[in-house]
Amino acid sequence: NKLTQTKAPNKMYQESGKIEGFFKRHYFLYCSSFLSSWGDRVWDYALYLSLSLVFPDSLIVPSLYALTVTASTMFFASWVGRVIDTYPRLMIISVSTAIQNIMVAGALGLILVIHLYYKTASVPWDDAWFVFTLVTLIIVGCVADLASMATRIGINKDWVVVISESQNHASLSELNAMVTRLSLICKVAGPVFFSLLLEGLSVSTALIVIAIWNVVSAFFELFLLVKMNSHFPMLGKPKASETMPTSSIRSEGSSVKQSIHEYLLEIWEPYQKYFSQTILFASLAYVLLYLTVLAPGALIINYLTYLNMGPLEIAVFQATSACVGVFGTMIGPYMISQFGLAKTGMISIWTQTILVCCVIFPLYIWKGLNLWFLLVPIILSRAPLWIFDIIEVQILQDSISDQDRGKVNGAEYSLTCLMTLLSYAIGLIAGTPDKFPLLSLVSISCVGLAALLFTFWYLRHGHTKPPTEEETHLFKD
């Protein structure tokens, strides 16, 4: 193997230069990914925090927003996937990026209106203008979320593959890991940044600053997209689906019933593509991981507050979880280079399963233990979780043709939204924080089922795949 042949004495310098060159070649991709993730994370945190400041005694408004946006994403994700596959790469991602940033700026403006004029002890449901403003905010938020989803699928699931294929020595796993790493860093830093803004500015001024940033950021992101397109000419190559006739072209004079039937077939087509893929069980394993309460989120924070854990300790738990996740994205590519894609997936999913099973002891067996005996396994499970995330993304990238990437990833995205909705639903059914141990059993069962599904896929399709040259070139001597 030429990768294991004797190297020059300055091998360390050469390896360092190789890594530096890898980052330089993909500078525009990383900057674009960072700006997009930063905007998403800051906006998401600013939205819910601002609504909670306006209506501190009500969870109805933020819950209504979250449920509606998640449901809309679930229903329209497959359609967005078809759009991604139908139009040229640069055009669709440029349009989605512009729409996302404009809609976010508009939504921030609507939140500002609510903050200035409707800051009351209770939600003014009898005020028609408030209801109109809230409905408009939800619609604008739905559009922004769909545009954000289009950008993520287009860049993370399609552009990354094309960029890797255009570079003989580009590691797809490293590209995926870096994009995920940047997203996790933004997940930690974005809320901290907005909180610091609130320390020095009023809520209204902070919202205006974020809105202006989103407008300005749109121009930078569009510039980076154009530079990527020119730097990697393969991105401009038409996908097969761009020249193929589609069922969306309806015959003139067709009846309403026939048109509805054809439309429903179009909606179903991405799911049909998805369920016919050889990677179905690997993808379903990934989807099941979204049905969980054993992750930093509203339900576990509510439970920790119920058990009198302080805000500082909760913040430490969330920050540590994110840092462990970042660590997972760092060791993931190395593990892939040693064990291959499929075997690393097996290691990560079963490690996560074992770790989340450990929460049974403090919740059911030794109930008097310190809360950190519950939190430490959850924190540690974030590393194998994000390793598995990288694995699953690359399995889809390697297995799906370019004309179907949008459809299949859109269908998968809608299923993850369904799992998120179900996690909200089980929280509503449980009703009170003392039911959290029961909810944790549902989460453990889903992770265990995910491990079994991935094992089934591994035994049928994945166990014969060794590390590729692209997976080993950054780490092998």
pLDDT digits (tens, 9 = 90+) for 80-128: 888 888 888 889 999 999 999 999 999 999 999 988 887 666 778 888 8
Tokens at 375, concatenated: 């939190």
Average pLDDT of the chain to the nearest whole number: 82
Share of the chain above pLDDT 90, in %: 36
**Exposure pattern of 453-467 as b/e (b: 16+ CB <10 Å)?**
bbbebbeebbeeeeb
The pLDDT tens digits of the residues spanning 235-251 come to 887 766 554 444 444 44
pTM metric for this prediction: 0.79
What are the residues whose beta carbons fall under 8 Å from the beta carbon of 128, sequence distance 6 or more? none
pLDDT of residue 198: 83
**Exposure pattern of 403-426 as b/e (b: 16+ CB <10 Å)?**
bbbbbbbbbbbbbbbbbbbebbeb
pLDDT of residue 241: 55
pLDDT of residue 426: 84
The pLDDT tens digits of the residues spanning 371-393 come to 889 999 999 999 999 999 999 99
Tokens at 378, concatenated: 């959850």
Please tell me the distance from the alpha carbon of residue 324 to that of residue 319, in angstroms, as a whole number. 9
Is the pLDDT at 254 greater than 70? The verdict is no
Q: What are phi and psi of 267, to 5 degrees?
A: -65, -35
Largest CA distance in the chain: 78
- For the four alpha carbons of 427, 38, 201 and 192, in that order, the dihedral sign comes to positive
pLDDT of residue 261: 64
